[in-house]
A and B are shown apart, each in its own frame.
Chain A
Amino acid sequence: MSGRTTVTAEPGTTTIEIIREFDAPRDLVFRAHTEPDLLRQWLGPRRYEMRIDRFEARDGGRYRYRHVDPDSGAKYGFRGVFHGDPSPDLWVQTFEFDGWPGHVSMDTLRLEDRGGQTISRTTSAFSSVEDRDGMISSGMEDGLSEGYERLDELLVRLGPIAARS
C-alpha cells in the first residue's frame, strides 16, 4: 500500500480525494505538515523551490507559500486560512491558487494511525463542479507531462474518472 498515491475526481462531483499510506508514525507525518522547515522539504515538485511567506498552523492562522521555478523564475502562489487548531485527527483549511483566484476550496486532512504506519486522507471540496474541474485544469506544471497512454486504457479507467498511480 505504501508508495501509492490515489487521486480521485469523480465526474459531476465537487470534490477531489487524495489517499496515501506512509511508512512512518502519525506524529512524524503530522510534524512534516505543520513545521514550515519540514514542509518546504517535500511539498511540490522537486525542481521548484518552495518559499513559505507565512504558515500559522492554528485556529484562524493564515498560510501563504510559493513554488518558484528556478529556471524561468515563474512563481505559483497558494494561500488560505486554518479553521480550528490543526490536529492529526482533523485539519481544516481553505485553499486558493493565485492562478485561479476566487475559486476557494475547503480542504480536510485526516491522518489515521495504523500501528507505525499512517494513512493520509485529504478531501478538497469546491463550491461547484466547474470550480473543481477548473482547479484540476489550472495545472501548475506546464513542463510536466507524462506520455499519453493508449486511449482505450484511459477509457477503462474512466468509470469513474479515477487516476491511480
Chain B
Amino acid sequence: MDVDQLSAVFGALSDPTRRAILARLTQGDATVAELSRPFRVSQPAISRHLKVLAGAGLISRTRRSTARLSHLEAEPLRNATDWLTRYREYWEESHRRLDELLVRMQDDPTGSSAMEGTTP
C-alpha cells in the first residue's frame, strides 16, 4: 500500500461517524437511508461521508434497483491496521528483550555478564 493511499485511509478513519458507518457495514451492505437512521445527520451528510470512504477504497457502491448499496472493502483497512501492527510488534519484541536484559542486569550488580551477554 503506498503512502498516499494509506493517508487517504487514515484520513477517512479520522471521523467517528465514518468509523461507525464502517462498523455498521461489517454486518452487511446497506443503503444511505439505512445508514442514516442510527445517526442524527441528514442523508446528504451521510452521502458525503460515503464519498470519502469510497475515495479511500474502504467501501464500494453498487446499485440494487433504485437504491445504492454500500459495501465494506476489507483490504485497505487490513493494510492500514497491519502496518500499525508491525510497528507495534517492533516495540513489543524490543521491550520483551529489554525485560530480559533488565533481569540479567539485576541478577549481576557488577553488570559484567550483561555487558558481555549477547546470547539470550
Contact = CB atoms under 8 A, between A and B. Distances in A.
Interface of A: 2-3, 5, 7, 9, 11-12, 16, 18, 20, 22-24, 28-29, 31-32, 35, 37-38, 40-46, 129-130, 133-137, 139-141, 144-146, 148, 151-152, 154-159, 161, 163, 165
Interface of B: 1, 3, 6-7, 10-11, 13-14, 16, 19, 22-23, 26, 72, 74, 77-78, 80-103, 105-106, 114-115, 117-118, 120
B105 A5 contact: no
A5 B3 contact: no
A151 B90 contact: no
A147 to B, nearest CB: 10
23 contacts: A3-B99, A5-B92, A7-B91, A11-B13, A22-B95, A23-B99, A28-B105, A32-B105, A38-B105, A133-B3, A133-B10, A134-B6, A135-B87, A136-B83, A140-B86, A144-B89, A148-B82, A151-B74, A152-B26, A161-B13, A163-B81, A163-B84, A163-B88
A134 B3 contact: yes
B91 A11 contact: no
Nearest to B94: A43
B84 A9 contact: yes
Given A28-B106, A151-B78, 12 more contacts: A32-B98, A41-B101, A41-B118, A42-B95, A43-B98, A133-B6, A136-B83, A136-B87, A137-B83, A155-B77, A157-B81, A163-B84
Contacts of A24: 102-103, 105-106
